Amino acid sequence: MYRFLLLIIALLNVSFVYAQEPKNLESLKERYIKYNTSGEYLKDQAKVIDQAMDYLKWRLANSKSSSEKKWAIVLDIDETSLSNYPDMLAMGLGGSLAQIIEAENKGTDPVIPPTLKLYRYAKENNIAVFFVTGRTESSRDATTKNLEAVGYKNWDGLILKPENYHEKSASIYKIKTRADITKQGFDIVLNIGDQKSDLIGGYADKTFKLPNPYYLIP
């Protein structure tokens, strides 16, 4: 009987051991959904665009003469000019590449308002705007209609990735594209994107990175 009581006491004092594990995926998704729905994501985007706007205004105020090179800004599209968030949410913040492309090709992505404000300011001040996107040529029609529908009008270039692009990093294509723009006689005053691969490699006076906790493009 005494031994039985000791066994019961020992069992009652057993401490459970749990394996170490990373943050639960569902709890992370809830956190990122709240980041968007709370308005914090838009506020963080606006902070970056406001800094870009201040720099552009400073450049205009300190422009020495009309003999300077033609000015341009380069904008990424997804999570920079247009938001994929409604489609990402519908796919549970997941989805295959094919599903994401299919969603983009619906041409219904909403605008990111601070970027549109910067775009309009640039155009009003005779600064060229080039969209340089990781979307491929097959998405040109849908992308054009989407951009125009939300208020982007009369851009100076919409450069999409070739269908046969096989490099590991999108940065290689984007660096070459910016180099081509400079060869046309433009000084790229601003380059804005949500991925580091949008910005590395030079050919821009100033770069600004928007937040994007939802996906990563090397």
pLDDT digits (tens, 9 = 90+) for 44-70: 999 999 999 999 999 999 987 655 679
User: How many other β-carbons are positioned within 10 Å of the β-carbon of residue 142?
Assistant: 17
* Digit-coded pLDDT (tens) for 157-176: 999 999 888 888 889 999 99
Q: Is residue 138 part of a domain?
A: yes
User: In terms of C-beta density within 10 A (0-12 exposed, 13-18 middle, 19 or more buried), how is residue 167 classed?
Assistant: exposed
Residue 1 pLDDT more than 70? no
User: Is 109 domain-assigned?
Assistant: yes
Contact 191, 204 (CB under 8 A): yes
43 half-sphere exposure, CB direction, 13 A CA radius = 6
Residues with Cβ < 8 Å from 89, sequence gap 6 or more?
A: 33, 36
Helix-helix angle 113-124:40-61, to 10 degrees: 10
Number of domains in the chain: 1
Query: Is 118 within the bounds of a domain?
Result: yes
Kindly report the CATH number assigned to the domain that includes residue 160.
Answer: 3.40.50.1000
Note whether residue 6 is domain-resident.
no
Q: Is residue 19 part of a domain?
A: no
Q: Which residue range forms the structural domain that includes residue 150?
A: 26-209
Say if 90 falls within a structural domain.
Answer: yes
According to the model, what pLDDT value does residue 17 have? 64
The alpha carbon of residue 148 and the mean position of all alpha carbons in its chain are separated, in whole angstroms, by 19
35 belongs to a structural domain: yes
Distance CA 178, CA 180 (A): 5
Distance CA 43, CA 20 (A): 35
Domain assignment present for 9: no
Predicted TM-score (pTM) of the model is 0.87
